[in-house]
Structure 1
């Protein structure tokens, strides 16, 4: 799918990788939706004229890569009305519900998502629809169903139940058959399971090994919903690639994760978002469990930062959900800075690191030649103050303007 080339000039530009932003810069995106050049405004303007690109001026605004949210459920089904709505929806209704969330996610500046558990393989259909331009939404990398033991975490939401090494091997292959880009497995309890606790071990070593070996044979990474350190240590020893949540990490475990290159997606918002839970009718037992996990969860993130564990940003909450005067995505990134990351580290974790997690460096999450022309426009530089993300007012996906609050991204708007 092609469109007219687009040049954004008169901007401060951060490319998702560099240690600082560049003033008086610009970005040129070709008709294939990929970046042709990043450089000074004058250089970009000259090259834009050569290829007949539309030119817009950011008017001194800040341009950074589109955000990559690494822990998303577009059919989120928390206990209560949210779960009832998803369970009561037929396949068509589910797909439309997810498409609506995908559109809102894109408009929130998230141009790529990693889905880590969806129902009925609607995520596969939505991914294809977005790729061909039938519906608006972020680039999708998806795990299909999350894998869990009988009665395990997620069994009543997006999980596929299995038992024994052969059962988990088959369940993994079923996700791969459907087109999974990665595999997600629930190896312990969590916040949303009524009949479990966060530290409940849920898979045997044989079961975990079956998932890992099968996925790795197919060239797919495996990430684990996990809470307690002992369970995670067993999985890391078996070759786990990444940890989601990690509610109870220790300094020793984080040192091991860093040594072995095991990624961490903290989803720190989920243990401090009472307002969101109340607004969506989540039962009190889950709210109390989530908030009760908060202090230890925060320590886990700090341990990971101190140890140098590779971190990718993910919310678990809907990326676009209203939260503390902004979106869940922006608030997650702010929390990461509050916990000890520098704004630069948090921004990398929210852009280029998301592509690196998938082994797709340079394909998206960075403003470099050949990468997808995904970018957002802000009023201020988030490398100076991470809360500048709250000033987002423009979103470009593959060179197409999909959000333009001020009308400044229309060709000729600056004339």
Structure 2
């Protein structure tokens, strides 16, 4: 059915709901999904049924979820749909035409959506294929999560990512131009690599890679255009300089200190830890990354974990992002779910970890109340689980249905026929 055709509201009844921010789930709730794919009403079953006259009670289709738990679709804030790690993945990236690359990314996007991630923030793609894919998904030509993208990551000559998704620049003028080039292409945010990382053979994690003048040029230009800036970064001294210059978000933060985390919390700087990337030997071996990279990543693991714990203790806003492909198999689940579980293992409450994976990302993207939440007026992006992740975060492993904008894109048990192809 096309979006121009009217269809009756769908009412999901007898479900336990978590709205993306509350301290607890609410039992015996109902959700009214309108013809436009947004949530029309949500609340206690009896109250919602009493209000159905506003939507045409006789026409509404009821779907009994028999007590299943419904949560917002997940928001993964560190994704590369065209990931090109050193080794065969990078060889495939370099050997692909633009058409081949965007088709590969589209296939990944479909798998990401079916894994329960309904929104992604892309933080480094190449050849502006991300912009083309974003348009195709927006227009309904292909299935995939909502995309917010940085375009190319920005790096110095030979800097982190220069051989994959990085756009090289040097000097304040060079970085100003590179930032404007991403904005011209339609970037929703800017990502800049200010230090080395685990995937650069000729660098180390603590290698500084931008001058203060270069960082300031990126920040000033992006902020003038109303865009936020996030930074690939490892060592505390480099991150401290960037935070003092006005950085909005830190990716990875392999070597954070408590003092730096206190500064980040005071300045309102968010943190996307991507904790999976320093403990995912299974994924590295499956994708034949070189030994030097795997060894560097795993060796960074203990200090990376300490960084996450410093951020938790300091009250830094922590936002979920996997860096690993969100849908990649990992420890018996997906990289996204494992990332959230790691956050809880590091000391976050299940509720805080779930906020980091839903409404916190939406807030950072400037889409509070539109995505990452189950509230009236928000997109009907939702997941159906067997049990409550606020009681036990591993409940995310029981996900069996995914709905995006009121359309079921995964329905393992055939419960949501009324939402299949409804938009």
Indicate the SS of the match to 1:304.
helix
Q: Does 1:102 align with 2:109?
A: yes
CA distance in 2, matches of 1:54, 1:319: 33
* Aligned match of 1:20: 24
1:130 to 129, 133, 137: 137
Report the CA distance between 1:47 and its aligned residue.
4.4
Task: Say whether the 8 Å CA contact 2:383–2:402 is kept in structure 1.
Answer: yes
1:83 to 90, 97, 106: 90
Q: Kindly tell me the number of residue pairs found equivalent between the two proteins.
A: 413
Task: Say whether the 8 Å CA contact 1:45–1:55 is kept in structure 2.
Answer: no
Q: Does 1:267 align with 2:274?
A: yes
CA distance in 1, matches of 2:35, 2:92: 41
Report the CA distance between 1:44 and its aligned residue.
3.2
1:143 to 143, 147, 150: 150
* Aligned match of 1:199: 206
CA distance in 1, matches of 2:354, 2:267: 23
CA distance in 2, matches of 1:386, 1:299: 21
Task: Say whether the 8 Å CA contact 2:407–2:419 is kept in structure 1.
Answer: no
Identify unmatched segments of 5+ residues in structure 1: none
Task: Say whether the 8 Å CA contact 2:406–2:419 is kept in structure 1.
Answer: no
**TM-score scaled to structure 2, two decimals?**
0.96
* Aligned match of 2:302: 295
CA distance in 1, matches of 2:419, 2:360: 35
Report the CA distance between 1:45 and its aligned residue.
4.0
Report the CA distance between 1:408 and its aligned residue.
1.1
Report the CA distance between 1:8 and its aligned residue.
1.3
Instruction: Render the CA deviation track for 1:344-374: whole Å, top value 9, x for unaligned.
Output: 0000000000111112211100001111110
CA distance in 2, matches of 1:125, 1:341: 37
Distance 1:320 1:412, change over 3 A: closer
* Aligned match of 2:42: 38
1:194-233 alignment to 2 at 5 Å?
Answer: 194-233=201-240
Indicate the SS of the match to 1:173.
helix
* Aligned match of 1:371: 378
CA distance in 1, matches of 2:35, 2:51: 13
Greater Cα offset, 35-44 or 168-177: 35-44
CA distance in 1, matches of 2:419, 2:323: 39
**TM-score scaled to structure 1, two decimals?**
0.98
Report the CA distance between 1:106 and its aligned residue.
0.2
Indicate the SS of the match to 1:244.
strand
Instruction: Render the CA deviation track for 1:264-322: whole Å, top value 9, x for unaligned.
Output: 00000000000000000100000000000000000000000000001110000000000
Greater Cα offset, 223-232 or 402-411: 402-411
1:338-349 alignment to 2 at 5 Å?
Answer: 338-349=345-356
Indicate the SS of the match to 2:200.
coil
Distance 1:152 1:276, change over 3 A: same
Task: Say whether the 8 Å CA contact 2:88–2:288 is kept in structure 1.
Answer: yes
Task: Say whether the 8 Å CA contact 1:9–1:44 is kept in structure 2.
Answer: no
* Aligned match of 2:99: 92
1:72 to 74, 79, 101: 79
Indicate the SS of the match to 2:418.
coil
Identify unmatched segments of 5+ residues in structure 2: none
Task: Say whether the 8 Å CA contact 1:224–1:244 is kept in structure 2.
Answer: yes
1:151-162 alignment to 2 at 5 Å?
Answer: 151-162=158-169
CA distance in 2, matches of 1:233, 1:399: 43
2:64 to 57, 66, 71: 57
Indicate the SS of the match to 2:417.
coil
CA distance in 2, matches of 1:316, 1:171: 23
Task: Say whether the 8 Å CA contact 1:99–1:126 is kept in structure 2.
Answer: yes
Distance 1:85 1:47, change over 3 A: farther
